[in-house]
Amino acid sequence: MKRLAILGASGHGKVVAEVALSAGWASVDFYDDAWPGKRRSGKWVISGDTSAFLKDPGRFDGAAVAIGNNAIRMKVIWQLQAAGIELATLVHPSAMISDSARLGAGAVAMAGAVVNADAVVGAGVILNTLCSVDHDCVLGDGVHISPGAHLAGDVRVGEQSWVGIGVSIRQGVTVGRLVTIGAGAAVVCDIADNLTVAGVPAKELIR
Ligand SMILES: CC(C)(COP(=O)(O)OP(=O)(O)OC[C@H]1O[C@@H](n2cnc3c(N)ncnc32)[C@H](O)[C@@H]1OP(=O)(O)O)[C@@H](O)C(=O)NCCC(=O)NCCS
């Protein structure tokens, strides 16, 4: 029986749990640092906080970090990797991942996600519901591609960048690291590190 520990019991965690069960994991147990104040997430019981999980990770066959914030997710992933804990890479049965694409440790592909030929997806990447990542794209560690976002071929997205819901990115574009691309944007040229952009075509959002 394959048991998965999920760290992070938010709404995103519930979706990750359902991906894991659809993908053949027999059971999931949740851990969240909001415990003991928070003890449930929907139908799921939260078993304890991260330290409770770390006391005996050997009870599980793998762990997934289901934290939406890219920086926090990667921090926890690095903590688990340093402790020698196996990170599960989870792919929903309705996702289509090319045989020539690579998914990093701890990446998750939600329902309907498509990753085409020779794409490289880093560690801890979220490929959210119905997104598409086309041929030869390269996504750095900790990237989040939100639901319904579409990346044409040869797009590069730097570490821990967040591509918002429904975004389209033109072929060959390079997005820097720690970039936020607002919901619905159309990205037609390169974006430097650390920027927040939005709109059609996407421009820096000055707040
Ligand atoms: C871009 C974003 C990060 C900005 O958030 P924020 O810093 O809280 O910005 P605010 O909501 O205060 O908006 C600031 C201004 O930008 C505009 N704006 C915000 N998001 C925008 C977007 N996606 N497209 C165009 N304009 C946007 C607002 O209308 C506002 O304009 P105003 O100053 O003229 O009123 C956020 O709006 C966004 O799009 N996040 C992505 C959400 C998402 O993809 N969720 C999926 C989860 S899986």
Q: β-pairing, 40-41 with 44-48? A: antiparallel
Q: Mark whether 120 and 65 lie in a shared domain.
A: no
80 and 138 fall within a common domain: no
Asked whether residue 207 carries a pLDDT value surpassing 80, the answer given is no
Q: pLDDT at residue 145 above 80? A: yes
Domain closes at, from 43, 71, 88:
88
206 has pLDDT over 90 = no
Domain boundary among 55, 72, 88: 88
Name which residue sits closest to atom 47 of ligand 1, judged by CA.
Answer: 146
Q: Do 66 and 158 have their domain in common?
A: no
Which atom of ligand 1 is found nearest the CA of 180? 3
Angle, vertex CA 185, rays to CA 179 and CA 189, nearest 5: 65
Answer yes or no: are the C-beta atoms of 74 and 124 closer than 8 Å: yes
**131 Cβ contact partners less than 8 Å away, ≥ 6 residues apart:** 110, 113, 114, 145, 146, 147, 148, 149, 150, 151
pLDDT of 1 reads 76
Pocket mutation for ligand 1, best pick of 161, 163, 207 (most atoms within 8 Å of C-beta): 207
Domain, as residue range, for 22: 3-88
Residue closest via CA to ligand 1's atom 4 equals 182
Assessment of whether the complete model's pTM goes beyond 0.85:
yes
For residue 139, list its beta bridge partners: 121, 157
**Residue 133: pLDDT band by 50, 70, 90 thresholds?**
very high
pLDDT in tens, 164-202: 999 999 999 999 999 999 999 999 999 999 999 999 999
**Statement: residue 144 has pLDDT above 90:** yes
**What pLDDT digit, counting tens, does each position of 50-83 carry?**
999 999 999 999 999 999 999 999 999 999 999 9
**Ligand 1 centroid distance, CA of 140 (Å):** 23
42 CB-near residues (< 8 Å, 6+ apart): 14
Alpha helices (runs of H) in the chain, residue ranges in sequence order = 11-22, 50-55, 70-82
List the structure tokens of 44.
């799921």
Instruction: State the CATH number of the domain containing residue 108.
Output: 2.160.10.10
User: In terms of domains, do 152 and 102 share one?
Assistant: yes
* Mean pLDDT, all residues of the chain: 98
Catalytic positions, please? 135
CATH code for the domain of 14? 3.40.50.20
On whether both 199 and 97 belong to a single domain, the answer is yes
Among the atoms of ligand 1, which is closest to the Cα of residue 166? 44
Q: Is the CB of 178 under 6 A from ligand 1?
A: no
116 Cβ below 6 A of ligand 1: no
138 and 188 fall within a common domain:
yes
How many domains, the chain? 2
198 and 105, same domain (yes or no)? yes
Asked whether residue 31 falls in the same domain as residue 131, the answer is no
